[in-house]
Chain A
Amino acid sequence: SQTIHQWPATLVQPVGSPLSLECTVEGTSNPNLYWYRQAAGRGLQLLFYSVGIGQISSEVPQNLSASRPQDRQFILSSKKLLLSDSGFYLCAWSRGGQVLESEAFFGQGTRLTVV
């Protein structure tokens, strides 16, 4: 069976510090990978989307970046965090190569507070 791991679960970082959140998927190959952010009391915003190694689509301009160094590894980074980067970050995967009914499966999320 497929599983998705995301860590850390919670993180408190000072403004201006770097960020690295990691997500790995097991039990599948060539998944589509996603990073979403959910601000307090708001919906999920798609940040990055990847269909393969080194292929990253950025949805919104921001000071975050994403990388996919391996097929089942997705990393969210920032060089300098802003207060507005606080939120609930969710990694997700869906089956690659199939457009229809490709539901997403989520990791447990990282709650980031920038202070």
Chain B
Amino acid sequence: RKEVEQDPGPFNVPEGATVAFNCTYSNSASQSFFWYRQDCRKEPKLLMSVYSSGNEDGRFTAQLNRASQYISLLIRDSKLSDSATYLCVVNRGLDTDKLIFGTGTRLQVFP
């Protein structure tokens, strides 16, 4: 089983749509969770951290479910500029900062 698993997509959605991505992780000792965004041929950039209580940043909402070991990202009112690959990131375990990336979910927003 992969340490971090994501649906590769692509998710093709119209502008204004709401889209959700899920990500599962295998190590129950993981403590840090993030969503990164990667544009084509660019480096990944932090989109948001994921907190236990869930958190929101504008149109983006992240949730963590420790019991089921998954995290989610919800994007509301999709914009053309949201088109990118979204990477789920988890630290490997309790005492390590090793960050393991999922393969990413590709989002394409069309007019």
Q: Chain A contacts of B64 at CB under 8 A?
A: none
| Interchain CB contact under 8 A, B32 and A102 | yes
The stretch from A14-22, A42-50, A74-82 touching chain B is A42-50
Question: Is B1 located at the chain interface by the 8 A CB criterion?
Answer: no
Question: Is B59 located at the chain interface by the 8 A CB criterion?
Answer: no
| Interchain CB contact under 8 A, B95 and A46 | no
Question: Is B34 located at the chain interface by the 8 A CB criterion?
Answer: yes
Question: Is B27 located at the chain interface by the 8 A CB criterion?
Answer: no
- In the complex, how many residue pairs between chain A and chain B have their CB atoms under 8 Å apart? 62
Which of B43-89 touch A at CB < 8 Å?
Answer: 43-46, 49, 87, 89
- The interface on chain B, measured as residues whose beta carbon lies within 8 A of the other chain's beta carbons, has a size of 24
Q: Mark B80-109, 1 if CB is under 8 A from A, else 0.
A: 000000010101001111111111100000
Q: Mark A59-94, 1 if CB is under 8 A from B, else 0.
A: 000000000000000000000000000001010101
Q: List 12 A-B contacts (CB under 8 A).
A: A32-B97, A43-B87, A49-B98, A99-B96, A99-B97, A100-B31, A100-B32, A101-B49, A103-B34, A104-B46, A106-B43, A106-B45
